[in-house]
Amino acid sequence: MATLRLEGIEKVFPGGQKAVTGVDLEVSTGELVVLLGPSGCGKSTLLRIVAGIETPSAGRVFVDGTDITDVPPQKRDVAMVFQSYALYPHMTVRENLGFGLRMRGTPAPELKARVNEVAESLGLAPLLDRKPFQLSGGQRQRVALGRAIARRAKVFLLDEPLSNLDAQLRVSTRAELSRLHRVLPAPMLYVTHDQEEAMTLGDRVVVMSAGRILQVAKPMEVYERPATRFVASFVGSPRMNFLPATMVGPVAGRLPGGGNAVLAAGSAVVAGENVVVGVRPEDLLLVAPGDGDLVARIDLVEALGRESLVHLVLDPAREDGPLSVLALAPGGFQAEAGERVGLCVRPGKAHYFDARSEERIG
C-alpha cells in the first residue's frame, strides 16, 4: 500500500534543455496512471526522477508521504521496467527474476518461493533455466516485469514496455498487464506515446507536451472533453478534424461552408470571436448535398472492412488552400471521387478551442 506524489517537478539539463516543467501528480495504491505524449516531451525524464536515476532541478518526490527526493535509487522501493528489458544476458530467467531480491539479501528459501510464485503467475515456469537470448521478445518483457514484481516494490514504473513487441503480442501483453495491475496493490506509472495503450490501460491518463502536463483525467474524459487542441489531436485515431470558425452568437460557430455548429450551452464565447471547431471522424456524418452543415467533395474512400475512411475536401476551396477532413462511414460505403456530399456534425459532438490559446471552450 503506497501513494506516489510529485510536487513541482522541474528538470533542466546542463545544456539548458528544459525537459520537465511544473509537474504535480499523485498516483494512489493500485492505480495505473499513464503518461502519454509525443517523443521528447519529458516522460522518461519524469520516470527517471521517480526512480532516482535523474535528479530534479526543483520539486520533491514523496512515497507514502516520505520525501525520497534525495534517497539514492538502490535505496528506493521503486521498480522500473524499461523498453529494452535490460535483462542480464549471462543469467538464466530464474537468476534474473531473483536478482533484485538477492541484492537486498533476501534469504534463499524466501527468494526461491517468490521467484517460483512470480514465474507461475506470468507463465514463465517452463522457461526458468533459459537465458534471455533463448526467449522471444514477449517472454523477455515478462521476465523484466516479473523481476519488478518479485521485488514487491512499493512503486512500479514502466517505460514504453510494449514498444519492442509486434502488434499481436502487444495486444495480448497489454491485456496481461491490465490483469496484473488489478492484483498488484501498488501505484504504477506507465509511459507510452501510444494513445491506444493509454486509453486501454490507464485508470487515469496524463497528457504531456513539451515537459508540461496538459490534462489529467480518466481515459474517456480525455477523449470526450480534451482540454486543449493538442490533447484532442493526440488522442483518438483517426485524428480529430479541425475547422476554423467564427462565432455568430454565443452558442454557434459559422463553419467554412457557411453552416453552423452549435456549442454546448453555458459557454462564454463572444460573437465574432475566432475559434477552432474540432469534430472526430466518427461524429462527421455524410448526408445528401444541401442537407448538412458543410459541403464537401469525396477525395478518396479507404475500405477497412468494418468501416470506411472517407477523405473529403470542403467546398468551396479556401483562399489559403483546400481544407481536408476525414469522416468514418459504415463498411461497404461507396462513392466516386469528386462526388458532392453534405456533412453534418453529430449533435453535441463539436469541440471548441480558442484559436489563439488552443484551450477548450465550454
Ligand X SMILES: Nc1ncnc2c1ncn2[C@@H]1O[C@H](COP(=O)(O)OP(=O)(O)O)[C@@H](O)[C@H]1O
Binding site for Mg ion (CB under 5 A): 44
Nearest to 160 by CA among 85, 49, 234, 83: 83
Contact 210, 41 (CB under 8 A): yes
Distances in Å between the alpha carbon of 88 and those of 63, 85, 143?
Answer: 28, 9, 11
45 makes contact with ligand X (CB under 6 A): yes
Q: Which does 41 bind (CB under 5 to 8 A by kind): ligand X, Mg ion, none?
A: ligand X
Contact 242, 231 (CB under 8 A): no
State the minimum distance, in angstroms, from the CB of residue 47 to Mg ion.
8
The 319-358 site mask, x for binding ligand X (CB under 6 A), equals: ----------------------------------------
Backbone angles phi and psi of 351, in degrees to 5: -105, 135
State the minimum distance, in angstroms, from the CB of residue 17 to ligand X.
4
> How many C-beta atoms lie closer than 10 Å to residue 123's C-beta?
12
Identity of the residue, 37 or 281, whose beta carbon is nearer to Mg ion in the bound complex: 37
Nearest to 3 by CA among 41, 30, 42, 39: 30
Grid coordinates representing 24 are 504535480
CA distance 277 to 260: 10
Q: Which does 254 bind (CB under 5 to 8 A by kind): ligand X, Mg ion, none?
A: none
Binding residue for ligand X (CB under 6 A) from 5, 43, 170, 280? 43
Q: Where are the beta strands (DSSP E) in 65-217?
A: 66-67, 78-81, 155-159, 188-192, 204-209, 212-217
Binding-site size for ligand X (CB under 6 A) equals: 12
240 makes contact with ligand X (CB under 6 A): no
16 makes contact with ligand X (CB under 6 A): no
207 makes contact with ligand X (CB under 6 A): no
State the minimum distance, in angstroms, from the CB of residue 129 to ligand X.
35
Site for ligand X in 22-41 (CB under 6 A): 37, 39-41
Binding residue for ligand X (CB under 6 A) from 2, 42, 98, 157? 42
Identity of the residue, 43 or 151, whose beta carbon is nearer to ligand X in the bound complex: 43
13 makes contact with ligand X (CB under 6 A): yes
Residue with cell 496493490: 185
Residues that bind ligand X (CB under 6 A): 13, 15, 17, 19, 37, 39-45
